[in-house]
Amino acid sequence: MTMRESDLDRVKALPLFSKTSPEVFRDVTGGAFLQRFPAGTTLMMEGDTVDFLYVLLDGMVELQGSWKEKETTLALLRPVSTFILAAVVLDADALMSARTLERSEILMLSGEALRRVMRQDADFSFAVAQELSGCYRGLVRAVKNQKLRGGVERLANYLVTQRIRQDLIETIVLPHEKRVLASLLGMTPENLSRAFASLAKYGVVVRGGEVTLNRPDALERLARPSPLIDNHMPPADGVVGKAESERWSSATGRSCGYVSS
Amino acid sequence: MTMRESDLDRVKALPLFSKTSPEVFRDVTGGAFLQRFPAGTTLMMEGDTVDFLYVLLDGMVELQGSWKEKETTLALLRPVSTFILAAVVLDADALMSARTLERSEILMLSGEALRRVMRQDADFSFAVAQELSGCYRGLVRAVKNQKLRGGVERLANYLVTQRIRQDLIETIVLPHEKRVLASLLGMTPENLSRAFASLAKYGVVVRGGEVTLNRPDALERLARPSPLIDNHMPPADGVVGKAESERWSSATGRSCGYVSS
DNA sequence: CGCGTTGTTGAAGAGCTTCAAATCTGGTGG
DNA sequence: CCACCAGATTTGAAGCTCTTCAACAACGCG
């Protein structure tokens, strides 16, 4: 419930808020409160009405959708990320469930306050529109990834993307359990296992959560990554500068949904 | 190039513009121009920089994505719909190609003007954010549809949705060629054909572009439509009233991408 | 150390794609 | 009006991909 000053600073640093005036920022974060959740907590179920904009400050959150006893992971979030922004803007019910994968700290901002401020402040509204645009494009990438690529190709591209995001080191570390990764990539855990095995001939060696890419060039020829599908994060998270391509955090959907790859 | 008064009225009626003041509307549509395209015209290729917000006034447009000689349909648009709003807001390049499926009339609004007005008018910015939220949610539904359902289930749900949208008549008319429908549903034309055949035991009879649903109840038990995936349009396009669930045009993605089902 | 979860592997089968060929359809020119 | 063509659709056969079920191994945690 108590909130460190540094927490608010990290929220202010989000693209969504980085350019808002101090007054507006105070208005939006006014009634906010911080909550701590253990791993495996369901924060929200599909269909629930949404009263808050969530901001993940620490830990990890999975967004998932379900139908007929089946579940699938739609996005994996790491700090600092917002989620369910679209539902908040429309004051609609959630289309995804959210649950913590680790012990997490989450800031909850009043949705009603957010909408009120949006109507008053064009710059903030514009920032929200930019954020949503980035999220939208993240999902377009996800749909293309899902419909145009087979399972092995999705995994190969995931590995290529991770390699870039982890600074081109040769042995990358999977940031989540394999069964979660499988669900994100749209396959069963068994199939992911076999997909890894079938990448052995491209120099991919798996030891637990560590994956060594001995022939990144060969893997990349198989993966055929495309800037129109894959969002290769800039290695350093420093200056993002221009929105020339688009703002990174939105682009990846780091704030709205890490979404595929 | 010349523009009927009624065309502008139809644009004004879009949720995106319905509540904007006449002055703001004039600013946004100021440098706009109307173009007519024959069927099969490529309006834009993936990766192109986007200078205009497109508004489909008449005809039909397909949005598609591609990778490695493969193509897939991401959305099918009918009048009156806007498209590539997200790219315009971010001043980014297009993630989808767009081409006309029929002779089409398309209004092109300056993206630069749109962004300028957004920064000046909080209400308009808010409307854009709402529109984008609806588009985002349309894509969330599309991803769930794609990842959670098999081909036959997607087709069954498509038919259930069409039946509702076509006023619950027993013989619905497919609004597009079957191969386009196949691509929208994420399958090959051959597979769509077989999927139709396998729905025969649920009372589905196909004659050309006409599909008769003799046992809609049985079909629906198979389809198991869900409000969290499928967007069953209100039969009458009259009063939409509340955004309680969400604005319909956004909800369906009628304006941003008709997107699956 | 024991136990439950997670990951791997094999076998069977369902689902989907590809290629090829036959059939149907709409539109064109004679 | 009819013959004809190109593209669209359907059907069959073969093969590949993916899922499911079952069993087993590996890991982490108390």
Q: Would you say the C-beta of A194 is within 7 Å of strand D? A: yes
Please report residues of A whose CB lies closer than 8 A to that of B139: 136, 139-140, 142-143
Q: How far apart are CA B194 and CA A39, in angstroms?
A: 45
Measure, in angstroms, how far nucleotide D16 C1' is from residue B36 CA. Answer: 45
- Check A144 against B245: CB less than 8 A apart: no
Q: Does residue A156 register a pLDDT over 60?
A: yes
- The minimum CA-CA distance between A2 and chain B, rounded to whole Å, is 31
- Give the one of B136, B147, B244 whose C-beta lies nearest to A186's C-beta: B147
Q: With 0-12 CB in 10 A as exposed, 13-18 as middle and 19+ as buried, what is A236?
A: exposed
Residue with tokens 């909800």: B251
Q: Does residue A224 register a pLDDT over 90?
A: yes
Residue B2 has a pLDDT of 61
Residue A83 pairs with which residues in a beta bridge? A54
Mean pLDDT on A140-161:
97
Q: Which two tokens stand for residue A67?
A: 């139908």
- Geometric angle at alpha carbon B238, from B233 and B240, rounded to 5°: 65
Q: Which of A88, A144, A261 should one mutate to test binding to chain B, selecting the residue with the greatest count of B CBs within 10 A?
A: A144
Q: For chains A and B, count residue pairs whose Cβ atoms are closer than 8 Å.
A: 187
Q: What letters, b where the CB count within 10 A reaches 16 and e where it falls short, cover A130-149?
A: bbbbbbbbbbbbbbbbbbbb
Residue of B nearest to A68 (CA): B224
Q: Which of A132, A154, A157, A245 should one mutate to test binding to chain B, selecting the residue with the greatest count of B CBs within 10 A?
A: A132
Mean pLDDT on B148-161:
97
- Check A128 against B129: CB less than 8 A apart: yes
Q: Does residue A248 register a pLDDT over 80?
A: no
Model pLDDT for residues B35-49, shown as the tens digit of each residue:
999 999 999 999 999
Q: With 0-12 CB in 10 A as exposed, 13-18 as middle and 19+ as buried, what is A48?
A: middle
**Alpha-helical runs (H) found in chain B:** 5-12, 15-18, 22-29, 85-90, 111-120, 122-148, 151-165, 178-185, 189-198, 216-223, 248-252
Model pLDDT for residues B221-255, shown as the tens digit of each residue:
999 999 999 998 753 343 333 333 344 433 344 45
Q: How far apart are CA B93 and CA B91, in angstroms?
A: 7
Mean pLDDT on B7-25:
88
For residue A49, give every residue at least 6 positions away whose Cβ sits within 8 Å of its Cβ, in sequence order, or none: A92, A93, A94
The DSSP symbol for A93 reads B
CB of B54 closer than 8 Å to CB of B154: no
**pTM to 2 decimals?**
0.90
Q: Which residue is nearest to nucleotide C16 (CA to C1')?
A: B191
Q: Does residue B6 register a pLDDT over 90?
A: no
Q: Which residue is nearest to nucleotide C25 (CA to C1')?
A: B208
